[in-house]
Homo-oligomer: A and B are copies of this chain.
Amino acid sequence: MNDAQHQKRQQRLKEKVDTRIEQAQQEQGILMIFTGNGKGKTTAAMGTATRAVGHQKKVGVVQFIKGTWENGERNLLEQFGVPFYVMETGFTWETQDKNTDTIACLNTWQYALKLLNDPEYDLVILDEITYMISFNYLPLDEVVSAINTRPSHQNVIITGRGCHRKLIELADTVTEMRPLKHAFDSGIKAQKGIDW
């Protein structure tokens, strides 16, 4: 490709992007979903939290199945006033008791509801909540209703595999993280600072 062709291609690209920016002028809180089996769902949510905090936005994080182990992003973001509410029983496949898991889940959901009703919060992250719905710990309708009635400027991020299609329909932005490769599968240990 010569320079003139290159410039022409870049010009077309610029026009396309400019047009899309012009057309997208509606300001409102959005529902974003990071789903799929690949790595990067919680991580992308935490990256968005970091970004929002960097712009002095108010962020709250509710983690539905993270364990009790140390958590790098929490260490950092809590210093900026981001509350982390982590479901007490940790991974549900460690506890294996449907009743206690359901109670823990519903307690965690009560905390999430507070954030989803509080207009001070610009961004609420419901990390790994999809599993709570799949396991029937949490009624889908309650989640849909809370999202529909939240303050209109509030952004919400949902993460987790196998997101229910009703939530996908409700969402503004949905990314499916597809695993093309995973280091864990080729025998490399999960690492502090990278994997948690």
Instruction: Report B-chain residues with C-beta under 8 Å of the C-beta of A96.
Output: 7, 10-11, 14
Instruction: Report B-chain residues with C-beta under 8 Å of the C-beta of A53.
Output: 72, 76
> What's the least CB distance linking A122 to chain B, in Å?
6
- A39/B50 contact (C-beta < 8 A), A14-B93, A27-B191, A180-B176 known: no
Residue in B26, B180, B193 whose CB lies within 8 Å of A55: B193
By beta carbon, the residue of chain B nearest A8 is: B96
A positions within 8 Å CB-CB of B = 1, 3, 6-7, 10-11, 13-14, 17, 20-21, 23-28, 30, 32, 34, 36, 38-40, 42-55, 57, 70-77, 80, 92-99, 122-123, 136, 155, 168, 171-194, 196
For this complex, 15 residue pairs linking A to B, each with C-beta atoms less than 8 Å apart, are: A3-B99, A27-B188, A27-B191, A30-B191, A42-B47, A43-B48, A47-B73, A50-B73, A52-B194, A53-B76, A54-B77, A168-B180, A174-B180, A176-B177, A176-B180
